[in-house]
């Protein structure tokens, strides 16, 4: 089978490839230090690896076996991991993550970052996703606000990527949150109890955060959250429902007594 050429897209993997100028801008925002481990998710042909400054270790994750083999040849100094980044990122500590993110995994990757600790992540994503993060909108934006700091968002010239996408793009710089507000704590508790009904998750959240008994917590949740919402599974909450839950419960987060 004839191999793909640089700039040619693996359409089934939803890949686009940066030119040198685009790659340099993304890397510049990462402010990589010599003692850091840097992970490139969706490394493609090594566009970001090629312009990466000296660091402790370069790790390239690439799903496409053919591209991964090419990376091993071009960058023998890098650790190349072939497979699904959403699986490979767990159990592999890193300081900085950089990625020209394949569009199909933008949201799953962001949700994965909730679980990980890192100094900085620089992602090239659709501007619609950047807006959700920046303005804390939608389920993604709301939950992300509890786990991630949005340090900056800037528009990206789509002519620096091939093929030129139909959607507008933005570079987003993120870091792990080290301190959480009351609202963050509530969102954190809900997100980490996604296998539960909303009412039960909120009851447990108030028990943990406020130190209330289950009876006390359940009483407050029943009084403030509609039954139809309480009986939903957490992942089935609509953005407006999640916003309303946070609005009515945030004022009591951190209170030791009812």
Note the pLDDT tens digit of each residue in 193-219.
999 999 999 999 999 999 999 999 999
Q: What is the pLDDT of residues 10-45, one digit of tens each?
A: 334 577 899 999 999 999 999 999 999 999 999 999
**Under a CB-based contact definition with an 8 Å cutoff, are residues 61 and 39 in contact?**
yes
Residue 89 pLDDT greater than 90, yes or no: yes
The secondary structure of the chain in percent helix, strand, coil, rounded to multiples of 5, reads 45, 20, 35
Determine the pLDDT at residue 99: 98
Q: Which residue has the higher pLDDT, 40 or 1?
A: 40
Is the domain defined by 182-252 classed in CATH 1.10.3470?
A: no
Q: What is the pLDDT of residues 96-136, one digit of tens each?
A: 999 999 999 999 999 999 999 999 999 999 999 999 999 99
Residue 141 pLDDT greater than 80, yes or no: yes
Residue 2 pLDDT greater than 60, yes or no: no
Going from N- to C-terminal start, the domains of the chain cover 11-176, 182-252
Determine the pLDDT at residue 3: 38
Task: Indicate the burial class of 77 (C-beta count within 10 angstroms; 0-12, 13-18, 19 or more).
Answer: exposed
Determine the pLDDT at residue 191: 94
CATH number of 11-176: 3.40.50.150
Rounded CA separation 208/82 (Å):
40
Both tokens assigned to 247: 């609005």
Give the contacts of 71 (CB within 8 A, at least 6 positions apart).
Answer: 43, 45, 46, 49, 60, 62, 78, 80
Both tokens assigned to 150: 């949005």
Determine the pLDDT at residue 11: 35
* Residue reference for tokens 């801008």: 25
Residue 5 pLDDT greater than 70, yes or no: no
The residues pairing with 83 across neighbouring beta strands, listed in sequence order, are none
Look over the chain and give the mean of its residue pLDDT values, rounded to a whole number: 92
**Under a CB-based contact definition with an 8 Å cutoff, are residues 116 and 87 in contact?**
no
Residue 235 pLDDT greater than 60, yes or no: yes
pLDDT grade, residue 254 (50/70/90)? confident
Determine the pLDDT at residue 155: 98
The residues pairing with 170 across neighbouring beta strands, listed in sequence order, are 125, 155
State the Cα torsion 54-59-65-71 to the nearest 10°.
Answer: 10
From 122, 126, 119, select the one nearest 165 (Cα to Cα): 126
pLDDT grade, residue 92 (50/70/90)? confident
């Amino acid at each position: 089978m004839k191999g793909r050429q640089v700039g040619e897209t693996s359409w089934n993997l939803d890949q686009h490839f940066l030119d040198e100028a685009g790659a340099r801008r993304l890397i510049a925002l990462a402010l990589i230090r010599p003692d850091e481990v840097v992970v490139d998710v969706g490394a493609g042909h090594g566009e970001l690896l090629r312009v990466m400054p000296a660091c402790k270790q370069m790790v390239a994750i690439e799903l496409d076996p053919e591209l991964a083999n090419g990376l091993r040849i071009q960058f023998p100094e890098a650790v190349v991991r072939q497979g699904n980044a959403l699986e490979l990122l767990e159990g592999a500590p890193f300081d900085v993550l950089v990625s020209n993110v394949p569009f199909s995994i933008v949201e799953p990757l962001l949700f994965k970052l909730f679980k990980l600790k890192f100094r900085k992540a620089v992602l090239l994503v659709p501007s619609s996703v950047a807006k959700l993060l920046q303005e804390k909108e939608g389920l993604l934006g709301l939950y992300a606000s509890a786990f991630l700091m949005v340090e900056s968002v800037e528009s990206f010239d789509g002519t620096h990527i091939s093929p030129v996408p139909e959607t507008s793009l933005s570079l987003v710089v993120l870091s792990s949150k080290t301190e959480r507000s009351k609202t963050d704590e509530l969102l954190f508790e809900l997100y980490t109890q996604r296998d539960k009904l909303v009412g039960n998750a909120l009851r447990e959240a108030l028990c943990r955060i406020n130190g209330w008994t289950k009876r006390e917590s359940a009483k407050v949740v029943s009084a403030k959250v509609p039954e139809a919402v309480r009986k939903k599974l957490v992942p089935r909450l609509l953005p407006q429902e999640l916003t309303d839950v946070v609005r009515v419960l945030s004022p009591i987060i951190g209170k030791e007594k009812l």
